[in-house]
Structure 1
Amino acid sequence: MEDDAREAAIKRLKAKRDFWTHVVTYLIVNAVLVGIWALSGAGYFWPIWAIGGWGVGLAFHAWSTFGEKPITEERIQREMRKQQGAD
């Protein structure tokens, strides 16, 4: 049981690390794209396509990392108590 909890914690920490690596990469690459845009005459703001598209992907990555919570026995019991209290 302890090993399972440890493995789950390691998996969660890796997911968080991977997400923050993704954020830093997103910021650096998009800053470079905006810099190229600015140095090339600053006409049509074409970096918005990369910023927006990649941003959507980043939002999904954030949701999968921080938004989804596994259904645990504790959460099931808490939900059952809420339902019983509402009746």
Structure 2
Amino acid sequence: MENRDKKLRAKKRVQALKSFYSHATVYLVINTFIVGMTAFMRMKEGVSLADSLFSFETFVTPFFWGIGLAFHAAKVFSWNPVFTKEWEKRQIEKFMEEDKREIGKY
């Protein structure tokens, strides 16, 4: 039974990785197209190539979508800089100490 659970967890992990890699691929393809088209359209309006490429308007979509992609990566690769194991340990010790004090009051 334990071996079956491990296999199921491994399959879920592989599916999460595939999902992330698909997301990253779509991100790269679509945003390359968007940046290229935005730069091209701005150049048609008379803006230089450098100005059209290094403009915030050109990178709005990749920027905000990139934030979402970063959160997806953090979830898939189990990266959490705030709630580390050390933080969990401190919180557990804190709550256990509070419980001891509460029990001691009665």
2:75 maps to a residue whose letter is: S
- Quote the Cα distance in structure 2 between the aligned partners of 1:68 and 1:35: 32
Aligned residue in 1 for 2:78: 67
Aligned residue in 2 for 1:17: 18
Q: Highest relative contact order (Cα 8 Å, sep 6+), 1 or 2?
A: 1
1:1-87 equivalence runs, <5 A: 1-42=2-43, 43=52, 44-68=55-79
Identical positions, percent: 32
Cα root mean square deviation, aligned: 2.2
- Quote the Cα distance in structure 1 between the aligned partners of 2:78 and 2:71: 9
- Secondary structure of the 2:20 match is helix
Runs of 5+ unmatched residues, structure 1 = 70-74, 80-87
Q: TM-score, structure 1 length as denominator?
A: 0.71
Q: TM-score, structure 2 length as denominator?
A: 0.59
- Quote the Cα distance in structure 1 between the aligned partners of 2:38 and 2:56: 7
Count of matched residue pairs: 71
When Rg is computed on C-alpha atoms for both structures, the one with the higher figure is 2
Runs of 5+ unmatched residues, structure 2 = 44-51, 90-106
